[in-house]
Amino acid sequence: MPAVPEGIAGHAGVLESDARALAECAERLREIEVRLEAGGAAPPWLYEAVNAHLAACAEAAADLVAASARLRTYAERARP
């Protein structure tokens, strides 16, 4: 049943892509912070909030990469 490993591998591919999407999100967060600071509009709490989001994005991306790798291994081992 080749559909099963391919299905699992499909999830792995999506998660790898999502890890990259999170990296893009982090990049956009940085740009937002820079833009607001440059415009003199950044509230005092923004730096701390954005930093927390950046760290979370990085951690989440790492989690997704790890999960993707595990899924690929699982897909290989699940082949009949």
Residues that bind another protein (CB under 8 A): 3-5, 7-8, 11, 14-15, 18, 21-22, 25, 28-29, 32, 35-36, 39-41, 43, 45-46, 49-50, 52-53, 55-57, 59-60, 62-64, 66-67, 69-71, 73-74, 76-78, 80
User: Least separation, in Å, of the C-beta of 65 and another protein?
Assistant: 9
Q: Which two tokens stand for residue 54?
A: 């950046």
User: Least separation, in Å, of the C-beta of 75 and another protein?
Assistant: 9
User: Least separation, in Å, of the C-beta of 78 and another protein?
Assistant: 4
CB 9 within 8 A of CB 70: no
